[in-house]
Structure 1
């Protein structure tokens, strides 16, 4: 577990609560995204998982089967990839996203199903339905940067230029990457590093 995640508030079971997760009393609402917290992440360049500052340079996110397949096809064809459809899911540190991909029940396994539906579904969240399956593959993806728009109702993100592509069927395939990332962070004095190699792999 990244130290910045280890320092997060915990739910009653002891699980760290991501920075953008809203609370209802003492209960975090894992299926929801807090508008104010997500806006802070966008405006202040904070990690959506741990809430810590992200240095200038690449940012990471976890993607599901459809986007993972689209990125793989673009890279195989030598074409640039850019997600023109905005997402509500904010960026984060590489270590935080590698960790999130392994511990989030929905992200970790191809047969995983969503535990709840979006409260007020719209064109961006219509797919967030209880019982929806993740799909056969996913990936942790590094992007050169991100764009955002903060509206009264939503915080929207778009990601620019793939710099790293780490696909998985089951995300515990990333354990060695996470260990190496944490070791490199420790060797550099404990801070977040300024990005990774500038090419997709």
Structure 2
């Protein structure tokens, strides 16, 4: 099978490739001698948090010239993360994140489903409640801050410096983003309804939804 991928940034070009020709992200575990993109390698989460490593290429995220205050962090997330502002994965370099959003088969193929068969017995799920669907749209959330949610291996998405939306490896249209968000809202509403104070949780969710809509791309001129 021949695959056509976008030109990788230098950090990605240095990564090893799997048999299909895809770059193997730094976080990926090796299972039975082969990279398993579904599994996070031992120590990779701790390494990313402690040393602020790019989740995708493994390089330092800190701007060595200007320092941490000038560093940007780019999260590759689904559209619903624009609502709850939470990511289960650490950030990456901006160019690495954009490459992932435009080259990853799962992120660029709306019909692709998560494959859970033959996972290693010791594979663990990320913290939080995972929305198990392919949203059809990927979001690169660029922020100037890094914040771990206390008590969890989850990351709070602080106010974005930039949001980049992608679908099928290209810039996503406004209607695609809205359709993906709206189709995911029932899942978040069902979770809010389980809260001890469901009414307050639903009210807060509505506020988060309204705030997320401010980040949806405008209609492009024809």
Count residues with an aligned counterpart.
Answer: 156
Give runs of aligned pairs for residues 110-149 of structure 1, distance below 5 A: 110-116=110-116, 119-121=123-125, 124=128, 126-128=130-132, 132=133, 134-148=134-148
- Is contact 2:88–2:126 with CA below 8 Å preserved after alignment? no
Q: Which stretch has the larger CA shift, 5-14 or 141-150?
A: 141-150
Q: Which stretch has the larger CA shift, 45-54 or 118-127?
A: 118-127
Higher relative contact order (CA 8 A, sep 6+): 1
**Unaligned 5+ runs, structure 1:** 71-81, 175-199
1:49-75 Cα distance to aligned partner (Å, 9 max, x none) = 00011123211011213224x3xxxxx
- Is contact 1:19–1:51 with CA below 8 Å preserved after alignment? yes
1:15 pairs, out of 22, 33, 42, with 22
Q: Does 2:71 align with 1:67? A: no
Distance 1:44 1:122 in 2: 20
Give runs of aligned pairs for residues 14-53 of structure 1, distance below 5 A: 14-53=21-60
Distance 1:49 1:63 in 2: 13
**TM-score normalised by structure 2 residue count:** 0.60
- Is contact 1:140–1:166 with CA below 8 Å preserved after alignment? yes
**Unaligned 5+ runs, structure 2:** 1-7, 63-67, 173-214, 218-222
- Is contact 1:10–1:17 with CA below 8 Å preserved after alignment? yes
**TM-score normalised by structure 1 residue count:** 0.66
State the superposition RMSD in angstroms.
Answer: 2.8
Give the drift of 1:159. 2.5
Distance 1:5 1:160 in 2: 26
Distance 2:126 2:96 in 1: 28
